[in-house]
Structure 1
Amino acid sequence: MTTRPSTRRAARWLLAFAVVGGVLAWALHLLVAWAVVEVACSIGHRDVAGIPVRLFALLATVLPGVVAVAALAVAWRLRLRHLTEPEGRRERRARFLAELGLGLDALSCLMIVFGAVAVAVLAACG
Protein backbone atom coordinates (compact mmCIF):
# COMPACT_ATOMS: atom_id res chain seq x y z
CA MET A 1 0.00 0.00 0.00
CA THR A 2 1.40 3.39 -0.96
CA THR A 3 0.67 6.61 0.81
CA ARG A 4 0.16 9.99 -0.74
CA PRO A 5 3.10 12.44 -0.58
CA SER A 6 1.07 14.89 1.53
CA THR A 7 0.37 12.14 4.07
CA ARG A 8 4.06 11.22 4.24
CA ARG A 9 4.98 14.88 4.67
CA ALA A 10 2.51 15.26 7.54
CA ALA A 11 3.84 12.08 9.13
CA ARG A 12 7.39 13.45 8.95
CA TRP A 13 6.34 16.64 10.70
CA LEU A 14 4.48 14.69 13.37
CA LEU A 15 7.52 12.46 13.89
CA ALA A 16 9.78 15.51 14.16
CA PHE A 17 7.39 17.07 16.69
CA ALA A 18 7.31 13.80 18.64
CA VAL A 19 11.11 13.75 18.86
CA VAL A 20 11.95 17.40 19.57
CA GLY A 21 8.67 18.96 20.75
CA GLY A 22 9.11 18.12 24.42
CA VAL A 23 12.77 19.12 24.53
CA LEU A 24 12.05 22.47 22.89
CA ALA A 25 9.17 23.04 25.32
CA TRP A 26 11.49 22.29 28.25
CA ALA A 27 14.11 24.69 26.88
CA LEU A 28 11.45 27.36 26.45
CA HIS A 29 10.29 26.73 30.01
CA LEU A 30 13.82 27.15 31.33
CA LEU A 31 14.43 30.28 29.32
CA VAL A 32 11.14 32.00 30.02
CA ALA A 33 10.04 30.77 33.44
CA TRP A 34 13.44 31.16 35.06
CA ALA A 35 15.57 33.60 33.11
CA VAL A 36 12.93 36.25 32.48
CA VAL A 37 11.62 36.08 36.04
CA GLU A 38 15.15 36.25 37.47
CA VAL A 39 16.00 39.29 35.37
CA ALA A 40 12.74 41.02 36.27
CA CYS A 41 13.27 40.36 39.97
CA SER A 42 16.93 41.38 39.94
CA ILE A 43 16.11 44.82 38.56
CA GLY A 44 13.30 45.29 41.06
CA HIS A 45 10.22 44.70 38.92
CA ARG A 46 7.26 42.82 40.37
CA ASP A 47 5.71 42.22 36.95
CA VAL A 48 6.71 41.12 33.44
CA ALA A 49 4.94 42.96 30.63
CA GLY A 50 2.21 44.01 33.05
CA ILE A 51 1.64 40.46 34.36
CA PRO A 52 2.53 39.72 37.99
CA VAL A 53 5.73 37.67 38.21
CA ARG A 54 4.10 34.68 39.91
CA LEU A 55 1.33 34.47 37.29
CA PHE A 56 3.88 34.90 34.49
CA ALA A 57 5.96 32.03 35.93
CA LEU A 58 2.83 29.87 36.14
CA LEU A 59 1.92 30.59 32.50
CA ALA A 60 5.53 30.01 31.43
CA THR A 61 5.31 26.60 33.08
CA VAL A 62 1.84 25.47 32.03
CA LEU A 63 2.08 26.36 28.33
CA PRO A 64 5.35 24.48 27.68
CA GLY A 65 3.95 21.64 29.80
CA VAL A 66 0.96 21.34 27.48
CA VAL A 67 3.27 21.28 24.43
CA ALA A 68 5.47 18.58 26.03
CA VAL A 69 2.44 16.43 26.88
CA ALA A 70 1.14 16.86 23.31
CA ALA A 71 4.52 15.73 21.94
CA LEU A 72 4.43 12.74 24.29
CA ALA A 73 0.95 11.81 23.07
CA VAL A 74 2.01 12.10 19.42
CA ALA A 75 5.08 9.93 20.08
CA TRP A 76 2.90 7.32 21.78
CA ARG A 77 0.40 7.24 18.90
CA LEU A 78 3.16 7.00 16.29
CA ARG A 79 4.82 4.17 18.20
CA LEU A 80 1.57 2.23 18.35
CA ARG A 81 0.98 2.84 14.66
CA HIS A 82 4.43 1.64 13.63
CA LEU A 83 4.20 -1.51 15.78
CA THR A 84 1.42 -2.88 13.55
CA GLU A 85 2.96 -2.03 10.17
CA PRO A 86 5.01 -4.54 8.18
CA GLU A 87 8.75 -4.49 8.76
CA GLY A 88 10.78 -2.32 6.45
CA ARG A 89 13.63 0.14 6.78
CA ARG A 90 11.28 3.13 6.88
CA GLU A 91 9.02 1.54 9.51
CA ARG A 92 11.96 0.52 11.72
CA ARG A 93 13.37 4.05 11.55
CA ALA A 94 9.97 5.59 12.35
CA ARG A 95 9.48 3.20 15.29
CA PHE A 96 12.95 4.04 16.62
CA LEU A 97 12.30 7.77 16.36
CA ALA A 98 8.89 7.40 18.02
CA GLU A 99 10.47 5.47 20.91
CA LEU A 100 13.24 8.07 21.17
CA GLY A 101 10.56 10.75 21.28
CA LEU A 102 8.74 8.86 24.04
CA GLY A 103 11.83 8.89 26.22
CA LEU A 104 12.77 12.49 25.50
CA ASP A 105 9.23 13.77 25.92
CA ALA A 106 8.71 11.86 29.18
CA LEU A 107 11.96 13.33 30.54
CA SER A 108 10.93 16.80 29.37
CA CYS A 109 7.51 16.50 31.05
CA LEU A 110 9.17 15.35 34.25
CA MET A 111 11.62 18.27 34.22
CA ILE A 112 8.83 20.76 33.57
CA VAL A 113 6.91 19.30 36.52
CA PHE A 114 10.03 19.65 38.70
CA GLY A 115 10.30 23.26 37.52
CA ALA A 116 6.64 23.83 38.40
CA VAL A 117 7.23 22.49 41.91
CA ALA A 118 10.19 24.82 42.31
CA VAL A 119 8.17 27.80 41.07
CA ALA A 120 5.36 26.91 43.51
CA VAL A 121 7.69 26.46 46.47
CA LEU A 122 10.13 29.33 45.95
CA ALA A 123 8.84 32.84 46.43
CA ALA A 124 8.94 34.92 43.27
CA CYS A 125 11.06 38.03 43.77
CA GLY A 126 12.12 37.04 47.22
Structure 2
Amino acid sequence: MARSLPARLVVGSVFGLLVATGAYAHHGWSWAEAEQMELSGTIRAISMAPPHPTLRVETENDGIWRVELGNPRLTERSGFVEGVAKVGDPIVALGNRSLDQNEKRMKAVRITVAGKVYDIYPERIQTN
Protein backbone atom coordinates (compact mmCIF):
# COMPACT_ATOMS: atom_id res chain seq x y z
CA MET A 1 0.00 0.00 0.00
CA ALA A 2 1.47 3.37 -0.99
CA ARG A 3 1.90 6.09 1.62
CA SER A 4 0.50 9.50 0.97
CA LEU A 5 2.88 12.31 0.10
CA PRO A 6 2.35 14.14 3.45
CA ALA A 7 3.14 10.95 5.39
CA ARG A 8 6.34 10.42 3.41
CA LEU A 9 7.34 14.03 3.98
CA VAL A 10 6.82 13.69 7.74
CA VAL A 11 8.82 10.45 7.92
CA GLY A 12 11.58 11.92 5.76
CA SER A 13 11.71 15.13 7.79
CA VAL A 14 11.90 13.28 11.11
CA PHE A 15 14.66 11.02 9.77
CA GLY A 16 16.60 14.02 8.42
CA LEU A 17 16.30 15.84 11.73
CA LEU A 18 17.57 12.81 13.66
CA VAL A 19 20.56 12.40 11.36
CA ALA A 20 21.43 16.11 11.49
CA THR A 21 21.06 16.26 15.28
CA GLY A 22 23.23 13.17 15.75
CA ALA A 23 25.92 14.50 13.44
CA TYR A 24 25.97 17.86 15.21
CA ALA A 25 26.17 16.29 18.65
CA HIS A 26 28.92 13.91 17.54
CA HIS A 27 31.12 16.46 15.80
CA GLY A 28 30.83 19.29 18.30
CA TRP A 29 32.81 19.84 21.46
CA SER A 30 29.75 20.50 23.66
CA TRP A 31 30.14 17.11 25.35
CA ALA A 32 33.65 17.99 26.61
CA GLU A 33 34.93 20.19 29.41
CA ALA A 34 36.54 23.51 28.46
CA GLU A 35 39.58 22.89 30.66
CA GLN A 36 42.21 20.55 29.26
CA MET A 37 43.82 17.66 31.07
CA GLU A 38 46.76 15.38 30.49
CA LEU A 39 46.37 11.61 30.45
CA SER A 40 49.38 9.28 30.61
CA GLY A 41 49.31 5.56 30.00
CA THR A 42 49.86 2.70 27.60
CA ILE A 43 48.07 2.14 24.30
CA ARG A 44 45.93 -1.00 24.52
CA ALA A 45 44.04 -0.67 21.20
CA ILE A 46 44.16 1.53 18.10
CA SER A 47 41.34 2.12 15.61
CA MET A 48 41.89 4.33 12.58
CA ALA A 49 38.29 3.86 11.38
CA PRO A 50 35.93 6.76 10.70
CA PRO A 51 34.29 8.83 11.97
CA HIS A 52 37.20 9.40 14.39
CA PRO A 53 40.30 7.34 15.02
CA THR A 54 40.35 6.25 18.66
CA LEU A 55 42.81 4.84 21.13
CA ARG A 56 42.14 2.76 24.22
CA VAL A 57 44.64 3.91 26.81
CA GLU A 58 45.30 2.13 30.09
CA THR A 59 46.37 4.41 32.92
CA GLU A 60 48.16 3.23 36.03
CA ASN A 61 45.48 4.34 38.50
CA ASP A 62 42.31 4.97 36.50
CA GLY A 63 41.84 2.03 34.15
CA ILE A 64 41.02 2.20 30.44
CA TRP A 65 40.16 5.50 28.72
CA ARG A 66 38.76 6.14 25.23
CA VAL A 67 40.86 8.83 23.53
CA GLU A 68 39.23 10.26 20.41
CA LEU A 69 41.35 11.94 17.76
CA GLY A 70 40.26 14.19 14.87
CA ASN A 71 38.54 12.95 11.74
CA PRO A 72 40.76 10.60 9.70
CA ARG A 73 42.07 13.33 7.36
CA LEU A 74 42.84 15.73 10.22
CA THR A 75 44.55 12.99 12.21
CA GLU A 76 46.61 11.99 9.16
CA ARG A 77 47.70 15.62 8.62
CA SER A 78 49.14 15.63 12.15
CA GLY A 79 51.40 12.75 11.08
CA PHE A 80 49.56 10.15 13.14
CA VAL A 81 48.93 7.47 10.55
CA GLU A 82 48.50 3.72 10.69
CA GLY A 83 51.72 2.06 11.79
CA VAL A 84 53.36 4.96 13.69
CA ALA A 85 52.09 3.62 17.01
CA LYS A 86 51.47 0.15 18.31
CA VAL A 87 49.78 -1.53 21.23
CA GLY A 88 52.09 -1.28 24.22
CA ASP A 89 53.53 2.14 23.33
CA PRO A 90 53.57 4.79 26.06
CA ILE A 91 51.31 7.77 25.38
CA VAL A 92 50.55 11.17 26.83
CA ALA A 93 47.30 12.71 25.59
CA LEU A 94 46.37 16.36 26.10
CA GLY A 95 42.71 17.08 25.60
CA ASN A 96 39.25 17.77 26.89
CA ARG A 97 37.52 15.27 29.14
CA SER A 98 33.87 14.29 28.85
CA LEU A 99 31.50 16.38 30.96
CA ASP A 100 30.15 13.07 32.29
CA GLN A 101 32.64 12.28 35.07
CA ASN A 102 31.55 8.63 34.99
CA GLU A 103 32.75 8.36 31.40
CA LYS A 104 36.48 7.83 30.83
CA ARG A 105 36.58 9.60 27.49
CA MET A 106 38.55 12.52 26.11
CA LYS A 107 38.95 14.39 22.83
CA ALA A 108 42.69 14.76 22.27
CA VAL A 109 44.18 17.94 20.85
CA ARG A 110 47.76 16.61 21.08
CA ILE A 111 49.20 13.17 21.65
CA THR A 112 52.78 12.17 22.33
CA VAL A 113 53.55 8.56 21.49
CA ALA A 114 56.95 7.11 22.37
CA GLY A 115 58.36 10.67 22.48
CA LYS A 116 56.90 11.83 19.10
CA VAL A 117 54.39 14.71 19.24
CA TYR A 118 51.26 14.79 17.05
CA ASP A 119 49.23 18.01 17.16
CA ILE A 120 45.74 16.93 16.12
CA TYR A 121 44.06 20.30 16.82
CA PRO A 122 46.98 22.79 17.13
CA GLU A 123 44.61 25.77 17.32
CA ARG A 124 42.94 24.29 20.42
CA ILE A 125 46.08 23.59 22.46
CA GLN A 126 45.89 25.71 25.60
CA THR A 127 49.39 24.99 26.89
CA ASN A 128 52.78 24.08 25.47
TM-score, reference length from structure 2: 0.28
Q: Which has the higher contact order (CA 8 A, sep 6+)?
A: 1
